Amino acid sequence: MNKTNNRIVSGMRPTGPLHFGHYFGVLVNWMKLQESHDCYFFVADWHAMTSEYADPKRIKQFVPQLVLDWVAAGLDPEKCVIYQQSAVKEIAELHLILSMITPLGWLERCPTYKEVKQQLVQKDLNTYGFLGYPVLMSSDILMFKPGAVPVGQDQLPHLELCREIARRFNHLNDTPFFPEPQDMLTPDAKLPGLDGRKMSKSYGNAIGLGESMEEIQPKVMKMLTDASRMRKSDPGDPEVCNLFPYHKTMTSEEDQAMIQAGCRDASWGCVDCKKKLLESMQTFITPLQERRAALLKNPDELWAILERGNVTARAAAQATMEELRNTLNFNF
């Protein structure tokens, strides 16, 4: 056990506003971790550039917006380090050094490299930076020598590569310099999109964390329910209804039992169920909206939160890099 084993590092790319799927998938997990772990959470703006390089100016507005979404959701800058990747220049230096030792074949074989390249045909991702994305991600992680990295399933190949790079570095330099970070898999998304598919802005089936009840209401009223329940007098099945996962995450257990019974014996209709969900959502979203409004009164504070985190992250990064330059005899 190394002494930083309680540390975790994770990041998100600033590419747009977050939605309820992010909240119940990633953020709930991060908020739990901030109570028990030494958390480093960062805005991965250099990563956003791998796909947005043709218009990097767009990225800047999304940086404070991501911090706004995080802090309004309940991440507490007093409990975790919130920082901006590009403000820690040491990460670029580590990326350079790790790129020297990373075999091309490891990157070319990375499944996410092959997939994303096919998906994003409209953008030219045939770049050196995109191929090297996992090396940059390894630098983000290894810089802070965390015990674990909370990520979604899709990021596991990157984390495996990160461990391989760490192992190779340690082997080449004959020192256990980088501890191998474990993966801490984020539980599966508990909340599907409005249409039952994975919630995603690009599917147009998302509810943004910053949306008002006026914006949310028509979306909820249009949601599809149990398709076999044609009339209110037909019994329904909450297990196949797309509304029920929403109740599961936002409605009290007592009311959930009432809803299930009412749906099954047809004493309660889908419109009633949606109205009840809107009430639950209102209760859920009110504290988030209050925090958001307070933060928006003084938007400079979002940059100030980042800057305070940047100072802490930079100090840790400088310590790692000094040690690393000594190890490599590159301490000129």
Return residues touching ligand TRP (CB under 6 A): 9-13, 44, 47, 137, 140-141, 149, 151, 155
Residue 142 or 305: the one with the smaller Cβ distance to ligand TRP is: 142
List C-alpha distances in Å: 235 to 23, 265, 274: 32, 5, 16
Residue 47 or 229: the one with the smaller Cβ distance to ligand TRP is: 47
Residue 163 or 274: the one with the smaller Cβ distance to ligand TRP is: 163
Residue whose pair of structure tokens reads 């929403």 in the numeric block: 246
List C-alpha distances in Å: 302 to 10, 104, 193, 297: 19, 39, 29, 11
Smallest separation, CB 235 to ligand TRP (Å): 41
Residue 11 or 64: the one with the smaller Cβ distance to ligand TRP is: 11
Residue whose pair of structure tokens reads 């249009």 in the numeric block: 222
Smallest separation, CB 3 to ligand TRP (Å): 20
Query: Which residue number places its CB atom closest to ligand TRP?
Result: 11
Strand-by-strand arrangement of the 38-43 sheet: 81-84, 38-43, 7-12, 148-151, 182-185
Smallest separation, CB 26 to ligand TRP (Å): 9
List C-alpha distances in Å: 248 to 34, 199, 215, 302: 24, 16, 22, 32
Strands (E), the chain: 7-12, 38-43, 81-84, 148-151, 182-185
Smallest separation, CB 9 to ligand TRP (Å): 5
Residue 11 or 236: the one with the smaller Cβ distance to ligand TRP is: 11
DSSP string for 20-60? HHHIIIIIHHHHHHHHHSEEEEEE-HHHHHHHHTT-THHHH
Residue 165 or 241: the one with the smaller Cβ distance to ligand TRP is: 165
Smallest separation, CB 13 to ligand TRP (Å): 5
Smallest separation, CB 48 to ligand TRP (Å): 9
